[in-house]
Structure 1
Amino acid sequence: MALLLAGDIGGTKTILRLVERTVNGEMNALYEFRYPSGEFPDLVPIVQHFLTEAAIELNFAPEPEKACFAIAGPVVNNTAKLTNLPWVLDAKRLEQELGISRVSLINDFVAVGYGVCGLDAEDLHTLQVGKPRQYDPIAVIGAGTGLGNCFAIPEANGVKVFSSEGGHGDFAPRSELEFQLLKYLLAKHDIARISIERVVSGQGIVSIYQFLRDRKFAAESAEVGEIIKKWESEIGKSEKTVDPGATIAKAAMEKCDRLSEQTMQMFVEAYGAVAGNMAVSLLPYGGLYIAGGIAAKILPLIQEGSFMRAFTHKGRMDSLLEMIPVRLVLNDHVGLIGAAVCAASL
Structure 2
Amino acid sequence: MATFLAGDIGGTKTILSLFDVPTQGNRPFAALGAMPKPIPLLKKTFPSREYTDLCPLVQEFLAIAENHQGTAISPEAACFGIAGPVIDNASELTNLGWFLRTDTLRDDLNISHVSLLNDFAATGYGVLGLTSDDIYTLQAGEPMSHAPIAIIGAGTGLGQGFLIPHADGYHSYPSEGGHSDFAPRSELEFQLQHYLIERYNIDRVSAERVVSGMGIAAIYQFLRSRSPERESEAMGERYRQWEQQIGHEPKTIDLSAAVSKAAIAGEDALCEEAMNLFVDAYGAEAGNLALKLLPYGGLYVAGGIAAKNLPLMQTGRFMRAFARKGRVSPLLKQVPVHIVLNPDVALLGAALYAIQDVSATT
TM-score band by shorter chain is over 0.9
Give the match for residue 227 of structure 1.
238
Give the match for residue 114 of structure 1.
125
Give the match for residue 264 of structure 1.
275
What is the CA distance between 1:86 and its match in structure 2? 2.0
Q: Is 1:2 matched up with 2:2?
A: yes
C-alpha distance in structure 1 between counterparts of 2:240 and 2:63, whole Å: 46
Contact 1:142 1:293 (8 Å CA) reproduced: yes
Code of the residue aligned with 2:302 in structure 1: it is: A
Code of the residue aligned with 2:20 in structure 1: it is: E
Q: Is 1:47 matched up with 2:42?
A: no
What is the CA distance between 1:287 and its match in structure 2? 0.3
| Segment drifting more, 31-40 vs 132-141 | 31-40
C-alpha distance in structure 2 between counterparts of 1:81 and 1:238, whole Å: 24
SS of the residue aligned with 2:251?
coil
CA deviation digits over 1:77-125, x for unaligned, max 9?
1111223312211111000111111111111122111111111111100
Q: Which of 324, 327, 345 is matched with 2:338 structurally?
A: 327
What is the CA distance between 1:40 and its match in structure 2? 2.4
Q: Which of 33, 37, 43 is matched with 2:44 structurally?
A: 33
Q: Is 1:17 matched up with 2:14?
A: no
What is the CA distance between 1:227 and its match in structure 2? 1.6
State the TM-score, normalized to the length of structure 2.
Answer: 0.92
Contact 1:205 1:264 (8 Å CA) reproduced: yes
Give the match for residue 158 of structure 2.
147
C-alpha distance in structure 2 between counterparts of 1:134 and 1:177, whole Å: 40
What is the CA distance between 1:74 and its match in structure 2? 2.2
Code of the residue aligned with 1:155 in structure 2: it is: H
Q: Which runs of 5+ in 1 are unaligned?
A: none
C-alpha distance in structure 2 between counterparts of 1:263 and 1:85, whole Å: 33
Q: Could you tell me the percent identity over the aligned residues?
A: 55
C-alpha distance in structure 2 between counterparts of 1:262 and 1:218, whole Å: 14
SS of the residue aligned with 1:131?
coil
Give the match for residue 111 of structure 2.
100
CA deviation digits over 1:4-32, x for unaligned, max 9?
11011122222211111213532111222
- Give the aligned length: 346
Code of the residue aligned with 2:144 in structure 1: it is: R
Give the match for residue 69 of structure 1.
80
| Segment drifting more, 216-225 vs 131-140 | 216-225
| Segment drifting more, 272-281 vs 32-41 | 32-41
Contact 1:113 1:338 (8 Å CA) reproduced: yes
SS of the residue aligned with 1:345?
helix
| Segment drifting more, 271-280 vs 240-249 | 240-249
SS of the residue aligned with 1:142?
strand
Give the match for residue 294 of structure 1.
305
What is the CA distance between 1:218 and its match in structure 2? 5.7
Q: Is 1:185 matched up with 2:157?
A: no
C-alpha distance in structure 2 between counterparts of 1:263 and 1:83, whole Å: 33
SS of the residue aligned with 2:163?
strand
What is the CA distance between 1:238 and its match in structure 2? 5.2
Give the match for residue 207 of structure 1.
218
Give the match for residue 206 of structure 2.
195
Q: Is 1:169 matched up with 2:219?
A: no
CA deviation digits over 1:125-157, x for unaligned, max 9?
000000001100000000111100000112344
Q: 1:272 to 1:222 in 2, by over 3 A?
A: same
| Segment drifting more, 187-196 vs 235-244 | 235-244
Code of the residue aligned with 1:174 in structure 2: it is: R
C-alpha distance in structure 2 between counterparts of 1:20 and 1:203, whole Å: 37
| Segment drifting more, 44-53 vs 104-113 | 44-53
C-alpha RMSD of matched pairs (Å): 1.4
C-alpha distance in structure 1 between counterparts of 2:144 and 2:229, whole Å: 46
Q: Is 1:56 matched up with 2:67?
A: yes
Code of the residue aligned with 1:84 in structure 2: it is: N
Q: 1:164 to 1:271 in 2, by over 3 A?
A: same
Contact 1:291 1:329 (8 Å CA) reproduced: yes
Code of the residue aligned with 1:332 in structure 2: it is: P
| Segment drifting more, 167-176 vs 187-196 | 187-196
Give the match for residue 32 of structure 2.
none
Contact 1:147 1:200 (8 Å CA) reproduced: yes
What is the CA distance between 1:217 and its match in structure 2? 7.3
Runs of 4+ in 1 over 4 A off after TM superposition: none
Give the match for residue 254 of structure 1.
265
Q: Which of 311, 317, 321 is matched with 1:310 structurally?
A: 321
Q: Which runs of 5+ in 2 are unaligned?
A: 24-28, 30-34, 358-362
Q: Is 1:126 matched up with 2:167?
A: no
CA deviation digits over 1:260-300, x for unaligned, max 9?
01001110011000000000010000000001110001110
| Segment drifting more, 104-113 vs 156-165 | 156-165
Code of the residue aligned with 1:10 in structure 2: it is: G
